[in-house]
Amino acid sequence: MAQETRMLFRRIDEPGLASIETYRRLGGYRMLERALKELEPEELLSTLEDSGLRGRGGAGFSMGKKASFLPRGDMDKFLCCNADESEPGAFKDRELMQKNPHQLIEGVVIAAIAAGAGWAFIFIRGEYAEMADILDRAVEEAYEAGYLGENILDTGCRVELVVHRGAGAYICGEETALLDSLEGKRGNPRLKPPFPAIQGLYGGPTLINNVETLSNVPHIVANGADWFKSFGTEQSPGTKVVSVSGCVQRPGNYEIELGIPARDLIYGLAGGPPEGREVKAWFPGGSSAPILTAAELDLPYSFEALADAGSMLGSGSIIVADDTVSIPHLALRTARFYHHESCGKCTPCREGTNWTVKMLERVISGEATPMDLDVISSVQDNIIGNCLCVLGDSMAMPIGSMVAKFRGEFEAAIEAGRAAAPRPLDESPTDARPVPLEATA
């Protein structure tokens, strides 16, 4: 039986954990004090880098390395915590903020000190109103206790923290769109380079990290890089809060050591699909991750193993589809989401998501031919790598993998649709017919 390894989720249901008294009683904010009084920012940075902590928001880039890209010097620098968790299937940051907001705030302040940022922002998605209220209260408590503000714990160090509530746009989870939104604009992604580490918020150097990444920071500072590396695998150190949802008996967040078999997560912790059903397909890292099949359930759940299998760990969100689920319908639901959320700035994404939805609708309604599956695949190839951000790629990768791995099912759906709604061969899908010339006169 698989077991959780709770580090961030330790005592997660302790009554009152969201309040500063309880958090402090359990040892909270001591690391911030230590970081301020005993350690130099350079030491903090090198500890974070040595720990090998990889970003938990999706890209999996080394957190310490990213922080080290910020230029040294006295200019205004910013830290943004990305709490715009909007990837379908992801809900780990929600539980972390809802139940242990001070762990995040402590991580934010330590990271801000390490990066030399005087301003920090938590960009929380607009739908998380309940969690934004909890964070607001926690930030207020932290200000009163002297962990935030102009003169933190009388050391002369300054970090201001603002909780910024979004208003419902998946694209704002993309880091440069997040910055535009935080500047009060429509959330359109920016051209990179320049990367945010050099020119980010208000044109200043900016470090952007996910909620779970920053929640790890106090633990790493407390116990050191080697201790952290004793969890997980060499290339994926630490624990990971994994959101498991869809066709499983016990959906929810489970904190595991990276590298355990995915089967232990899906069957062991989450209880597997309902009685009598089998796993047919699963997204290992949110709906943007290329889909995997039942044959791939024994893969280790780590950044490197999933990448080798042609997919990704992403934000660490598993969505399970059992054998009753139609893959073409699953594909249509997936594509509709990205079509809705495309900001419209880049043509391949705006048009590609739109036409993919239309083609998948045709597959299901019986208006497609098997040749259309090749068109769907080629559309995906034309999106990937051709836009300012990866929103379009996030649709193209799972749809492409579904058509590749379940092509037979798409073809059967096309045949079934055509049989159910037979259409004379001379009739085009739109019922358009040539108009006789004399009728136009």
CB 239 within 8 A of CB 233: no
Q: Which stretch binds other proteins (CB under 8 A): 88-96, 306-314, 350-358, 421-429?
A: 88-96
Rule CB under 8 A: which of 21-60 touch other proteins? 27, 30
| Choice between 68 and 269, CB closer to other proteins | 269
DSSP conformation letters of 343-394: -S-SHHHHHHHHHHHHHHHHHHHT---THHHHHHHHHHHHHTT-SSSSHHHH
Rule CB under 8 A: which of 140-199 touch other proteins? 162, 164-170, 181-187
Q: Which stretch binds other proteins (CB under 8 A): 225-233, 258-266, 387-395, 414-422?
A: 225-233
CA 53 to chain centre: 16
Task: Give the whole-angstrom CA distance, residue 281 versus residue 356.
Answer: 21
| Choice between 68 and 204, CB closer to other proteins | 204
Rule CB under 8 A: which of 248-307 touch other proteins? 250-255, 269-270, 283, 287
**Nearest approach, Cβ of 428 to other proteins (angstroms)?**
25
The long-range contacts involving 149-156, CB below 8 angstroms and separated by at least 24 positions, are: 152/32, 152/36, 152/109, 153/32, 153/33, 153/36, 153/37, 155/36, 155/37
**Nearest approach, Cβ of 380 to other proteins (angstroms)?**
18
By CB under 8 A, residue 112 contacts other proteins: no
Rule CB under 8 A: which of 352-391 touch other proteins? none
Rule CB under 8 A: which of 57-86 touch other proteins? 76, 85-86
Query: β-strands 252-257, 239-246: how paired?
Result: antiparallel
β partners of residue 244: 252, 318
Q: Which stretch binds other proteins (CB under 8 A): 108-116, 331-339, 351-359, 371-379?
A: 331-339
CB 31 within 8 A of CB 110: yes
**Nearest approach, Cβ of 352 to other proteins (angstroms)?**
18
- Residue 427: count other Cβ atoms within 10 Å of its Cβ: 10
**Nearest approach, Cβ of 287 to other proteins (angstroms)?**
6
| Choice between 9 and 147, CB closer to other proteins | 9
